[in-house]
Structure 1
């Protein structure tokens, strides 16, 4: 039985992931921005616990890390929360995963939600603080962060997952990918040991793919981590 934190678990892929893991008997801690969206149906019996906070606000990200620490060291943290076409997308999609990774005890497994759109993201890290970053940029950066973490700490593996373009609230009703398959890769990575590569994979439907070259570029990874450290004032190590 694993202890798993899933961010953005009130709906969509995060909710599907959390429910699948809980259904397998794992202890799931669900992160939600608005607890009313999760508890309105009396469904908290699914979860080991709930942590709350708006991942668009740095102070609240820090508080989410504090709340999560009360559960002890997680076996897996799934950085699922994300927003599209929002002025908050840099903070939610890239800064929040970075800060939570830096502030929390390192789990055995880290999983970061990417997107096929990361392949058209920019390596211009001035966009990180200039307010000009696109969704594609933020997903390239979080993919590079995932791969930067892959061999950084002994006992911690890290992967990036493209869930596909699925018909969630974010993806829209016209999305062409399989909603049922959208959470299965991260659910599998969260608990299985027979994973190849053991760490540092970019996954789509339980198969590895080749990400944007910058995501695997150690020089770019180092520049990204340095930029995030400078932006947040929090070192990764």
Structure 2
């Protein structure tokens, strides 16, 4: 297996940390993202201590990127750093997540004033992917893996930011469906470029801080979600697979709204406007 360079968002705990440890153990270079500098450095040190290369070498198999993905300005700044510092990027794993929250009835907003779950779980990964496409395309074949969820709820285009009847888990489920819809759209746009885009539900109610914070009882360990995610990153058999949603290892069907072309188009028009992206060359806005 050829060594890859993989950027993992939300890599300081839970699933992201597990993915990073697995990939590093397999000999891949891991680029860790986190919003907590101390946790970020701790995971990097953990990986360096368990890899055979000299931990202080300039080409050590782990590098870190610090940003708060609830701020689109920081998302763009991190993407610029990655483009400037990394000679290649074989995979981007959009794993960072805002869960249902400790106070699920308290509506929170991002730095730009967008509903927090929609911002972190949908807008940030879309913006980061878009900003890193030049590097991903230059490194092709390359992969984008969006860590979604089996918890999905239709986006209400009359109240996308859930200003009425707010509840954290509902916001989370809507944002994850938005992520899947964007996965399908971006995969179609990138057909023929060598960059694939897929989404997955890694495992049910893993033992993570987000699950516990909402008050749910974990039913599986993080490792159960690591395997399906790493497979989408590295399995040679999936090199040309794109625009799919997986329930762990199974190619599955997402919420029905994900297959509504009109709904996807409305979502992407809104998404491009919110992240400040112009319509790409060759794509007609309707």
Structure-2-length-normalised TM-score: 0.76
Of 177-186 and 123-132, deviating more is 123-132
Q: What does residue 5 of structure 2 align with?
A: 3
**Whole-Å separation in 2 of the counterparts to 1:122 and 1:216:** 11
Q: CA 1:36–1:126 in 2, change beyond 3 Å: closer, same or farther?
A: farther
1:117 paired with 2:151, answer yes
- The answer (yes or no) to whether the contact 1:129–1:231 under 8 Å persists in 2 is no
Q: CA 1:126–1:24 in 2, change beyond 3 Å: closer, same or farther?
A: farther
**Whole-Å separation in 2 of the counterparts to 1:129 and 1:37:** 30
- Per-residue CA deviations over 1:69-122 (Å, capped at 9, x if unaligned) read 12134111000000112522121101101110111125211110111111xx12
Residue in structure 2 matching 1:97, options 106, 125, 134: 125
- The answer (yes or no) to whether the contact 1:114–1:161 under 8 Å persists in 2 is yes
TM-aligned CA deviation for residue 180 of structure 1? 1.7
- The answer (yes or no) to whether the contact 1:162–1:204 under 8 Å persists in 2 is yes
**Whole-Å separation in 2 of the counterparts to 1:104 and 1:152:** 15
Larger Rg computed on CA atoms: 2
Residues 63-212 of structure 1: pairs in structure 2 closer than 5 A: 63-69=77-83, 70-86=85-101, 87=108, 88-106=116-134, 107=136, 108-118=142-152, 121-129=153-161, 131=163, 134-153=171-190, 154-164=193-203, 165-172=205-212, 174-195=217-238, 198-212=241-255
Q: What does residue 43 of structure 1 align with?
A: 46
Q: List structure 1 segments (4+ residues) > 4 angstroms apart after TM superposition.
A: 129-133
Gaps of 5+ in 2: 52-60, 102-107, 109-115, 137-141, 281-286
Total equivalences in the alignment: 235
TM-aligned CA deviation for residue 124 of structure 1? 1.6
Gaps of 5+ in 1: none
Residue in structure 2 matching 1:12, options 14, 19, 37: 14
Q: CA 1:196–1:22 in 2, change beyond 3 Å: closer, same or farther?
A: closer
Structure-1-length-normalised TM-score: 0.91
